[in-house]
Structure 1
Amino acid sequence: MNGALCAAKQQVRLAMKQKLAALPRESILEQSQIIQRKLLEFKPYVDANRISVFLSMPSAEVQTDEIVRHALSSGKHVFVPYLHKSPLPANPDIPPRVMDMVRLRDVQDYESLKRDKWGIPSIDSATINQRQRILGGGGSDEHQSDKGTLDLILMPGVAFDVAPESSEIRRLGHGRGFYDLFLERYAEKLEGLDLKRPSVLLYGLGLQEQFLSAENEQQVPIGPLDQPLHGLILGNGKTIVPPQLD
């Protein structure tokens, strides 16, 4: 990533961090409930059998607890992010830790997760070899890679907007590149398995304060590795999709 792009992204992240720090927790919970209710009648979610859902920090983003519980209770296969040491060849562009998606067994399994230092419920590494994984870690545990695919990924973000010319939905992450690299590796996996099926749907979940409107002076800066979303669900109940998918 070039220096100017990196600086532009950091500027938006800092501004959004300050905005969200002043947001009452009651507002975050209310918006999260609106999004969860919206999902119950949202066709991509209703139709999806295998979904990935991010597990939330205690503040400053959409809370996904009820979404995870509903998905598990309704019989969906629910996969959540898991960070582990990179099995990929040494490369300065690849972080030392990468992300995979691993399956939760049921609601009780979800409730048993311990929180990490950021307060996010996290998979115990001791249980990884007994869980389905989307990519697998490579090397000695490569056989744990699940040959299934994902229908839908519900993604977090720091900020979102709509590109004025292309109408693409843009997402700004936290800057670690976990989702970008996961999606790249996932696409390679599908190609390797020669699966003739649509790519996974990518939908962002955001608080209304995280959406940068056309009137806002700031925009979401993107680079060549940043993938546009298929849609965005906001805490005011609004669903945004590109015109060609509407």
Structure 2
Amino acid sequence: MASLQAAKKELRGQIKKVLSGLSAESINKQSATVTKSLLSLPEYQAAKRLSVYLAMPSGEIQTADIVRDAFSQGKQVYVPYIYQLDSVATQGRKSVMEMLALRSVEDYESLQPDKWGIPSLDAGTLATRENCFGGYGLLGLSNPAAEKDESGLDLIVMPGLAFDEKFGRLGHGKGYYDHFIMRSRGQHADATNARRIPYLGKNLCQFPITTCRRLIQSIAALTLEEQVLPPSERVPTAEHDCPVDALIVGDGRVLKRA
């Protein structure tokens, strides 16, 4: 485990160094290419409920135009919100991520940047925002009034720090997305209370998929060309590291798992 963590740390350092040298022009150009590719995917076009990460000002694919297009198409858009747990840490975690709804383009445009420059939800509005699992606010899944057909996600648009052509993903080291995905699957394992969750591929993360309701749901990761490893290299991963279903690259490539 120590060697795995060391390998991840080394790769993160290498990628961050490369990204620090990218110009805003290159990032904007690649972002436009990726956005066009994503919007043309059948999975995106059919999605009624999707989550989209809100990008840092530099170092990753920008997503503002994706959010705007999703609203123009009448889709429901959810964005990440990370918060500290008040109680004893769960599964060794002190903070977790939820996906909460944006209400409109105007709501999105009104978001203020956090200390990393990422547009962020106002904490004072959380209780009135729909949770993608049902209900409102943080841990909305506990709301017994939530209807199963009105919860879940058809598509997750995910960031990452590094990727490989076998759909391996390296995050920033906090594990928020991996934990979110595994928690989703664990909570929906009971077929009598199954809600829609993104389809993650066969035998992913060793959670059963036979009891989960599967529509066209998928995970699409957006990446700059410089974040994709050469074909001969792989992202160092552990069992809890979830691969993605599609990789959309700034050079125009769209890679999809069979």
Computed over aligned residues only, the root mean square deviation of the Cα atoms, in angstroms, reads: 2.1
Query: Once the 2 structures are TM-superposed, how far is the Cα of residue 214 of structure 1 from its aligned partner?
Result: 1.7
1:169 aligns to what SS in structure 2?
Answer: coil
Comparing 188-197 and 96-105, the one that deviates more: 188-197
CA positional deviation for 1:181: 0.8
Distance of aligned partners of 1:190 and 1:238 in 2 relative to their CA distance in 1, 3 Å threshold: same
Match of 1:157 in 2: 160
Distance 1:65 1:173 in 2: 21
Q: CA deviation at 1:137?
A: 3.3
Pick closer, same or farther for the CA change 1:31–1:144 going to 2, 3 Å: farther
Deviation per CA, 1:130-162: give whole Å up to 9, x if none: 1101246349x9439955010010110000002
Alpha-carbon distance in 2 for matches of 1:152, 1:138: 20
Q: Is 1:201 the counterpart of 2:200 in the alignment?
A: no
The aligned runs of 1:174-213 (5 Å cut-off) are: 174-192=172-190, 193-195=193-195, 196-198=212-214, 200-213=217-230
Q: Deviations over 1:157-198 (max 9, x none)?
A: 000002xxxxx4100000001001111111123224234521
Q: TM-score, normalised by structure 1?
A: 0.88
Moved more, 181-190 or 62-71: 181-190
Q: Unpaired segments of 5 or more residues in structure 2? A: 196-211
Partner residue in 2 for 1:232: 247
Give a deviation string over 1:10-62, Cα, whole Å, max 9, x none: 10000000001111110000000011111221111111110011000000000
**Number of matched pairs:** 233
Letter of the structure 1 residue corresponding to residue 58 of structure 2: S
> Contact 1:133–1:144 at 8 Å: present in 2 too?
no
Whole-angstrom distance in 1 between the partners of 2:145 and 2:162? 32
The sequence identity of aligned pairs, in percent, is 42
Of 130, 133, 138, 1:132 maps to 130
- Provide the secondary structure at the position in 2 that maps to 1:137: coil
Asked whether 1:223 is paired with 2:234, we answer no
Q: Is the 8 A contact 2:131 2:139 kept in 1?
A: no
TM norm structure 2:
0.84
CA 1:87–1:228 in 2, change beyond 3 Å: closer, same or farther? farther
Query: Which structure 2 residues correspond to residues 1-246 of structure 1 after superposition, within 5 A?
Result: 2-86=1-85, 89-91=88-90, 93-135=91-133, 137-138=138-139, 142-143=142-143, 147=148, 148-162=151-165, 168-192=166-190, 193-195=193-195, 196-198=212-214, 200-215=217-232, 218-242=233-257, 245=258
The answer to whether the 8 Å contact 2:34/2:250 transfers is: yes
Answer yes or no: is the 8 Å Cα contact 1:129–1:144 preserved in 2.
no
In structure 1, runs of 5+ residues without a counterpart are 163-167
C-alpha distance in 1 between matches for 2:145 and 2:8: 33
Which letter does structure 2 place at the counterpart of 1:237?
A: G
